[in-house]
Amino acid sequence: MPQINLLTDGVRLVAEPTDRFKTACISVSMALPMDEHMAANALLLYLLKRSCRAYPDMTQLQGKLDALYGASIGADISKIGEAQVLRLQLTCLADKFALTKESIAAESAQLLADLIFRPNVKNASFGAAALQAEKRLLIQRVEEELNDKRTYAYEQLIANMCQNELYGKPKYGTVEEIEAVKMSDVYAAWRNLLRTAIFQITVVGAADAAQIAEAFTAGFKRIERAPVTPPTQFVQRARRFNHYSKSFPVNQGKLVIGFRAGMADSLDHIASMTVMNDLFGGGTYSKLFANVREKMSLAYYCWSRLIASKGLLIVECGIDTEMERKASAEILSQLSDLRNNKTDPALLDASKRSLRERLTPASPYGILEWYSAQVLQSEICTQEDRIAAIEEVTMEDVCAAAKRISIDSIYMLSAEKTEEAKA
C-alpha cells in the first residue's frame, strides 16, 4: 500500500518510495471540469512547463534539466471521464548515480513545484511571445491528430458518439477556441487551477516524499481552496444506432465500433468488465484476435478497450475498406458468443493469469500511471486489490458483463479509391 497524505483540501499525495529503480518519478495531476475554459487550461499547462521565475527562459530551463543528468519534464492532457486532466511529469536520476555529489531529486522536485506555484508571470502576464509560441504549437498538435489515422478514427468515433455529452469535446479545445484565448484568460485559468482543481501528486522511486509534501504544502499556503470535483454522465444503454464514415487518401481503412458498457460509474462491475473486455479483444487468446485476425486474416490488429472512466467499450481494427461489413458482422457475432457462454473455460484462466501479469509492476512508469489515473477516485486502489477482484470473476459474470454492453455507433475511416481505380 502506498503512503497517502492529504496536504490540503482536494490535494492528495500518493507515494511509493523504493530504491528498486534508478530514478525518482513525480507526476502532478490536476483535474478540471470540461467547460468553456478548456483551451485556456491547455495553453496554461504548456506555459507552466515552459519556464518559471527561477528560469524565466525556456532554453535556460532546458539547460538546467540537461545538467541534472537529463531530468525531463513532460506535460500531457487527457480526459478522465468528463474531467480535463492536466499533468506535469518529472523523471530524474536517483542521487546515488550522479557522477559528482549532488541532490538531483530534491532540486528537481523543487523545480516542479516552482513551475506550478512560481511561474514566470509579471503583471498578470506570461509574456506575449511565450503565449503566441504555445498557441502555435498547440494548434499544430490539434491539427496533427489527423496524421495518425488509428487515433484520428478513434477520436472521431468519440466526438460523434458523445456529441450530446461533454465527453465528445476535444481535450485541448478546438482550434478556434485556442486562437481566441487572451492573456487574461490564461492568467485567470492559473488562479482557478490553484483554487479549484483536484490535485494528486504521485511519487515513485528514490524521492523524499516528505520534502515534496513540504514544497507543495508551502505552495498552497496562501491559496483559498474551493475544490470542485467534475461529475461524469454515464449513459448506460445505447439508444439509436448511428453510422458515420469519411474517406481519406490512405491505403488501409479503420473501423471503430463504440459500445456503451452499461456501467453506472467508473468502478461498476469493474473486475468482470475488465475480464470480459480482455476475453473479447484483449490478449492473443481473445475472440477478436483468434477470429478476425488469425482465422479470417482480415486484419493485422483488431482489439477492444474499456474506458471505465466514461463507461465505454471501443473496438478498433485496420482492414481493407470493402471488408467493413464482413468485419463488423464477425465482431458482433463474437460478442454474441461471449454473451452466450460459447467460450472455452480454459481461456478464462488464461485471461486472469495474463491480467495478473500485466498488473504486476515492472517499471516506475507503470506504477506512476496506475496511481495517477486515480486522481478523481476517493479511495486509492492498489494493483494487488484489482488482481484479487479479478480472481473472483466467474464465466457467468463474464456473460452478464457482455450482455450489459450495447452497440451505439460505428465510425469508418475508409480509403478513397485511387485515380487508377476510379478510371
Contacts with another protein, residue ranges (CB under 8 A): 18, 20-23, 58-59, 62-63, 65-71, 91-93, 97, 99, 133, 136-137, 140-141, 143-149, 248-252, 283-285, 293-294, 297-301, 318-320, 346-347, 349-350, 353-354, 356-358, 360-365
The least CB distance from residue 147 to another protein, in Å, is: 5
∠ CA 71-73-79, rounded to 5°: 150
Of 285, 294, 309, 286, the C-alpha closest to 167 is: 309
H or E element: which one contains 74?
strand 72-80
The least CB distance from residue 250 to another protein, in Å, is: 5
Nearer to another protein, 278 or 408 (CB): 278
H or E element: which one contains 25?
strand 23-33
The least CB distance from residue 218 to another protein, in Å, is: 28
Nearer to another protein, 5 or 252 (CB): 252
Nearer to another protein, 197 or 276 (CB): 276
DSSP 8-state secondary structure symbol assigned to residue 230: P
The least CB distance from residue 189 to another protein, in Å, is: 21
Nearer to another protein, 140 or 394 (CB): 140
Nearer to another protein, 230 or 318 (CB): 318
At position 318, the amino acid (one-letter code) is: G
Q: DSSP letter string over 354-370?
A: HHHHHTS--SHHHHHHH
**Helices marked H in 197-340:** 209-220, 270-281, 287, 324-339
Residue position matching grid coordinates 538531483: 104
C-alpha to C-alpha distance for 113 and 218, rounded to whole angstroms:
10
C-alpha to C-alpha distance for 144 and 155, rounded to whole angstroms:
12
The least CB distance from residue 85 to another protein, in Å, is: 20
Record the cell numbers describing residue 165, joined without a space.
455529452
Nearer to another protein, 362 or 388 (CB): 362
Of 261, 202, 206, the C-alpha closest to 380 is: 202
Of 282, 273, 267, the C-alpha closest to 357 is: 282
Nearer to another protein, 117 or 285 (CB): 285
C-alpha to C-alpha distance for 139 and 29, rounded to whole angstroms:
23
The least CB distance from residue 416 to another protein, in Å, is: 9
The least CB distance from residue 82 to another protein, in Å, is: 27
The residues, ordered by sequence, that sit 6+ positions from 130 with a Cβ below 8 Å of its Cβ are: 47, 50, 51, 58, 120
Nearer to another protein, 112 or 235 (CB): 112
C-alpha to C-alpha distance for 142 and 70, rounded to whole angstroms:
28
The torsion of the CA quartet 327, 328, 331, 333, rounded to 10 degrees, works out to -110
The least CB distance from residue 413 to another protein, in Å, is: 10
Nearer to another protein, 81 or 283 (CB): 283
The least CB distance from residue 96 to another protein, in Å, is: 8
Record the cell numbers describing residue 167, joined without a space.
465527453
Nearer to another protein, 104 or 270 (CB): 104
The residues, ordered by sequence, that sit 6+ positions from 45 with a Cβ below 8 Å of its Cβ are: 75, 77, 86, 87, 88
The least CB distance from residue 58 to another protein, in Å, is: 8
